[in-house]
Amino acid sequence: MQTDSSFTFVLFGGTGDLSMRKILPALFEAHRAGGMLADSGKIVAVARHATDRREYNEWVNEHVKPHVSKNGVDETAWASFLERIEFVNIDLGKAEDFVHLRDAIKDLPGIRVFYLATGPSLFVPICHALASVGLNENSRIVLEKPLGYDLKSSNAINDAVGEIFAEEQIYRIDHYLGKEPVQNLLALRFGNALFEPLWRREWVESIQITIAEELGVEARGDFYDNTGALRDMVQNHLLQLLSIVAMEPPHSMDSDSVRDEKLRVLRALKPIDPRDIGKVAVRGQYHSGVIRGTAVPAYATESGVRPDSTTETFVALKVEIENWRWAGVPFFLRTGKRLADRVAEIVVNFRAVPHSALGASALRAGANRLVIRLQPNETIRLYCLAKQPGEGMNLASVHLDLAFDQFFREGQMEAYQRLLLDVINGRLALFVRRDEQEAAWRWVEPILNEWKVSNKPPKPYASGTWGPAASSAMLAQHGTCWLEEEN
């Protein structure tokens, strides 16, 4: 993915956690690789916690450098990366300060990218301030989640930003779409004749999508207690993964072809009747427990969390897609904090053979399964049945394993690195279009509203487990269970 496109990358929130852990390390990796970033490209950090370029680069050395390159830092590459960085100290709440930003970047080359690594409350004021000094023209803007609290607030932000930037200038980022296994999911489905004929209701019994975390809310208690798992993870990450798993083949990989097909899936999601939410939606909240031998506190005692909070830290859903390909196939979505393991994966459970000519052992061994793991290790694993050595026809489950780090010797590209390069190069396919976002909010809102009206407390679960028992019971009603393997 080489480019000679010059750019000026303006990073709002330049001293924030996201810039420190993800954005600046991703830009460094692209710089270090050579040829991915134009030599003339510049990074302009905007923040108030430094006074000048020298002080900001000292901050980058101290706080960003520990997060780059697992195999150590190439000091020559690091020094040349710091030379790319400029710094502007302005108050984001003062529109008049943006004159200083305009003057600082007016002579810098290439396309301008404005990355808003700030709280969503600053999105609209920053956009208005950029427009007031003419910086919205011939530029691109990247919006981090959360983009709104519900459909109404999301539309309000999109309306306001849309008055200043055209839709093709707006990059709504969801970093899961940049992960290598998600890209390989597209390759698996649309580049191989083997799988596509089986990717439908006749051969697929159910599909699971899990994003599980061992961490709690950490220092984000104030934010999380007003958000919850449904808004934080389901409305964006999980529904985006679902749409990629279930979409029809696009006629090409251009941005609108891919996003048109994802939108069709989101619009085909079966609406949930409020009276049925208790049957198809499980919400939980973690209590104290033990994770990897360490005692961890209950959610209600975390800093910034209300002691009587009913915010969910776990959600499991049964989802149906009302179209020809997927009618009758349940999709099970699950996400939570303080769970037994850190894992993100997609599990495709195929139907069993219609008749077991090989005896009872074939039934006990189970059906075929495809597991696409996104984290912590990125693999694709296909489970098949094979005869065990020895006398008799005794079958066992075996697997074919594609471990990307072993098969491809060159290093994998991190999600943020890929997505930032796509922004610089004007590729929109892996970013969320407004109508996709609206469709996702429209489907999620009845669940949010019912939980608010009913005011029922979430089901408790001990930290270090896989969530409330009701989550497993929901799948048991369909004759299946969650895949819970060791990493």
Please list the active-site residues: 237
Q: Say how far apart CA 335 and CA 115 lie, in whole Å.
A: 27
Which candidate, 204, 200, 321, places its Cα nearest to that of 262?
Answer: 321
- Going by their DSSP bridges, the two strands 85-89 and 7-12 should be labelled as unpaired
Q: Residue with structure tokens 């069993």?
A: 352
For residue 334 the two structure tokens come to 């699950």
The residue written with tokens 């026809």 in the block is: 393
With vertex at residue 482, the alpha carbon angle to CA 294 and CA 196, rounded to the nearest 5 degrees, is 130
Helix (H) or strand (E) holding 314: strand 314-319
Cα separation, 64 vs 43, in Å, equals 14
> Residue 426 in contact with residue 255, Cβ under 8 Å?
no
| Cα 426–Cα 431–Cα 434 angle in degrees, nearest 5 | 110
DSSP 223: H
Select from 172, 114, 107, 174 the least CA-distant residue to 138.
114
Contact 101, 14 (CB under 8 A): no
Task: Check if the beta carbon of residue 305 is closer than 8 Å to that of residue 479.
Answer: no
Measured CA to CA in angstroms, residue 73 lies from 32, 78, 364 at distances of 9, 7, 51
Q: What is the three-class DSSP state of 93?
A: coil
The three-state DSSP-derived secondary structure of 205-220 is EEEEEEEECCCCCCCC
Task: Quickly tell me which residue has 């019912």 as its tokens.
Answer: 450
